[in-house]
Structure 1
Amino acid sequence: MRLIFSLLFALSLPAFAQHDHHASPPAAAAKAAPLTEGTVKKVDKTASEVVIQHGQLDSIGMPPMTMSFGVTDKSWLNKLKAGDKIRFAAEMKAGNAIVSRYELAK
């Protein structure tokens, strides 16, 4: 019986993996993503990206590093500047890391 269950489970895994990676997370999920400390290194309005030196990002499985992020709201690119200390939530959307929310660090 255990063998049958194991086989059925193994065969069902591809079905679980086929969920829509392009779907937007519910608003509650975006608010639930933990905030991580970071320092804005560069704001690239042309590419609609912000480069952030950050700590561990458990929400997207990234170790501490400096990397580019897209932003949920492009108006943030006019508010952020190099040197800003922020706390932000990161998510994966369509295969890209994005900042889904942020606040200036106190």
Structure 2
Amino acid sequence: MALANNRQRQALAAMLALTSFYSVGVVAQEASASGEVRRVDAAAGKITIKHGAISDLQLPAMTLVYRIDPALLKDIAPGDKVKFTARRENGDYVVIQISK
């Protein structure tokens, strides 16, 4: 009986370890940054922002096209200096907050 309990504990520990390993990858990465708007395409739900390095998202300084909810683009135009929060979701970068 003690041997079976030990095996059960080991199996449970292995399952928990695998669960925690895979759970970490599911969490979306998120970071705040500032930059300059280069293009706005509300119809496609996209915004192009030139920004410095965003280390939390492992992005070097660049100009990048982000997905964005078109409702967030109200009063945002090319040339605007903005502060934004972006998230990596399933390999895509998405702006979830933005302000001038």
TM-score by length of 1: 0.65
> What's the secondary structure of 1:76's corresponding residue?
helix
**Cα displacement (A) at 1:80:** 1.2
Taking only the aligned residue pairs, the percentage that are identical comes to 25
Deviation at 1:17, TM superposition (A): 4.2
The structure 1 residue matched to 2:59, chosen from 46, 62, 65, is 62
Structure with bigger helix share is 2
CA distance in 1 between counterparts of 2:98 and 2:72 reads: 9
User: Which shifted more, 93-102 or 49-58?
Assistant: 93-102
RMSD after superposition: 2.7
Paired amino acid for 2:40: V
Name the SS for the 2:73 alignment partner: helix
CA shift for structure 1 position 47: 1.9
Q: SS in structure 1 opposite 2:86?
A: strand
Contact kept, 8 Å, 1:51 with 1:69, in 2: the verdict is: yes
- Aligned residue-pair number: 85
Q: Which has the higher strand share?
A: 2
Q: Which residue type is aligned with residue 93 of structure 2?
A: A
| Alpha-carbon distance in 1 for matches of 2:48, 2:74 | 14
Unaligned stretches of 5+ in structure 2?
1-16
The C-alpha deviation readout for 1:28-84, integer Å capped at 9, x for no partner, is: x96xx3x3120000001232110000011122110000010112x321223211001
Residues in 2 aligned to 1:89 and 1:58: alpha-carbon distance in whole angstroms:
13
- Out of 31, 37, 42, the position equivalent to 1:40 is 37
Provide the residue aligned with 1:94 in structure 2.
90
Structure 1 residue runs of 5 or longer lacking an equivalent are 1-11
| Structure 1 residue ranges (4+ consecutive) displaced by more than 6 angstroms after TM superposition | none
- Report the counterpart of residue 76 of structure 1 in structure 2: 72
